[in-house]
Amino acid sequence: MRYDRQELIIGQEGQDKLKNATVAIIGVGALGTVATELLARSGVGKLILIDRDVIELSNLQRQTLFDEADVGRSKAVVAKEKIAQINLDVKVKTHAIHLNSENISVIKDASIVLDCTDNMKTRFLVNDYCRKNKTPWIYSAAIKTHGYVMPIFPDSPCLQCFIENVSLETCDMVGVLNVATTSIAALQTSLTLKILLQETVEPLLYHYDVWHQEFRKLSVKKKEKCPTCNEMFLFLDQKDDISTIKFCGSGRYQISGNINFDEAKNRIQGTCDGETIQTDKFLLFKDGRALIKASSKEEALSIYSRFIGN
């Protein structure tokens, strides 16, 4: 009964394919929440959700899985809770981590990977990993009133074939409409379903401006000296220094350290959901990262040292 309208289009065999699929979603924000919800409602059997961030009030304008009661909590953890309310048949595994070359193997079981991130370094890392492991993935990005989507296959042009000069504009700087992020995520999810159903999907770069109703399909050619296509996986070889990261415009710092999470649960007075410990000063993740409200790097380091450890 749950999928009968959908099965009129894809059939029982198609529905079984979705049930047996595993989709990794990197970034559970404006794009990722929409993709996560649509895939869960479609009956995709397993979802792997990866996000290092916490929910802020400004996210609620476009991150459709979250509400005001979720502010301050881990995006990955809350998304899992919301999906459990939508479809208990979907198995959700969460990783509240900063994805890097040392932990990217958490997506190794994925049938397909969805890029719903907001930074190019992570995208290039995903590009290298998926090419090396012959895993299809779908690039997506949205800003202002428009966005891009491109499915990338093991033998198709890759991200480095068409992205060289990266705009420094971010949603914090120039804004974004929720109709743009929702539309781009819906297009990304539609291509995901087609790939899982083993229908033909071309590796085209799609551009959609929802405000001006402009839609384009762009052909991308392989770049002769593309390092990824020539199996030089530079981003997989990089060691990621994430000891201190300032989140632009948010008044928050990410500090990373080595901790015993179980010991920290007993020592730190806060709310623990199994993946994070939340206090009024910081959110501590299981992998030792803490998101700290502070006016400077020095203040953030001081809070980490005082309340969490050296």
Q: In the structure, what pLDDT confidence band is assigned to residue 236 with cuts at 50, 70 and 90?
A: very high
Cα–Cα distance between 141 and 163 in angstroms, integer?
12
Q: In the structure, what pLDDT confidence band is assigned to residue 169 with cuts at 50, 70 and 90?
A: low
State yes or no: pLDDT of 123 exceeds 60.
Answer: yes
How high is the pLDDT of residue 37?
98
The average confidence (pLDDT) of the chain is 92
Which contiguous run of DSSP H or E holds residue 78?
helix 75-86
Thinking of the domain 4-234, which architecture would CATH place it in? 3-Layer(aba) Sandwich (3.40)
Strand partners, 293: 252
- DSSP letter, residue 179: H
Helices (runs of H) and strands (runs of E) counted in the chain: 10, 14
State yes or no: pLDDT of 248 exceeds 80.
Answer: no
How high is the pLDDT of residue 53?
87
- Which of 310, 302, 258 minimizes the C-alpha distance to 282? 302
State yes or no: pLDDT of 187 exceeds 90.
Answer: yes
Cα–Cα distance between 192 and 217 in angstroms, integer?
17
Q: Where would I find the beta strands (DSSP E) of the chain?
A: 22-26, 46-50, 91-95, 112-115, 137-143, 146-152, 205-209, 214-218, 244-247, 252-256, 271-272, 276-278, 282-285, 289-293
Do the Cβ atoms of 182 and 64 come closer than 8 Å?
Answer: yes
Do the Cβ atoms of 20 and 45 come closer than 8 Å?
Answer: yes
161-167 CB contacts, 8 Å cutoff, 24+ apart: 161/220, 161/221, 161/222, 161/223, 161/226, 161/229, 162/205, 162/220, 162/223, 163/120, 166/120
How high is the pLDDT of residue 257?
82
How high is the pLDDT of residue 174?
79
State yes or no: pLDDT of 7 exceeds 70.
Answer: yes
Catalytic residue among 130, 171, 248, 272: 171
Cα–Cα distance between 75 and 29 in angstroms, integer?
8
What percentage of the chain exceeds 70 in pLDDT? 94
Active site residue 158: no
* Higher pLDDT, residue 304 or 44: 44
How high is the pLDDT of residue 35?
98
Residues 6+ apart with CB under 8 A from 114: 23, 24, 25, 26, 32, 35, 137, 138, 140, 188, 189, 192
Most confident of 130-134, 235-239, 290-294, 301-305: 130-134
Per the listing, tokens 């198995």 go with 91
Mean pLDDT of all residues in 267-291: 90
Which contiguous run of DSSP H or E holds residue 234?
helix 234-237
Rg (CA), the chain: 20
Q: What is the pLDDT of residues 188-203, one digit of tens each?
A: 999 999 999 999 999 9
As given in the structure block, the two tokens for residue 168 are: 């420094």
How high is the pLDDT of residue 135?
98
How high is the pLDDT of residue 310?
56
Spell out the domain ranges in the chain: 4-234, 244-307
Q: What is the pLDDT of residues 31-67, one digit of tens each?
A: 999 999 999 999 999 999 999 888 989 999 999 999 9
Q: In the structure, what pLDDT confidence band is assigned to residue 173 with cuts at 50, 70 and 90?
A: low
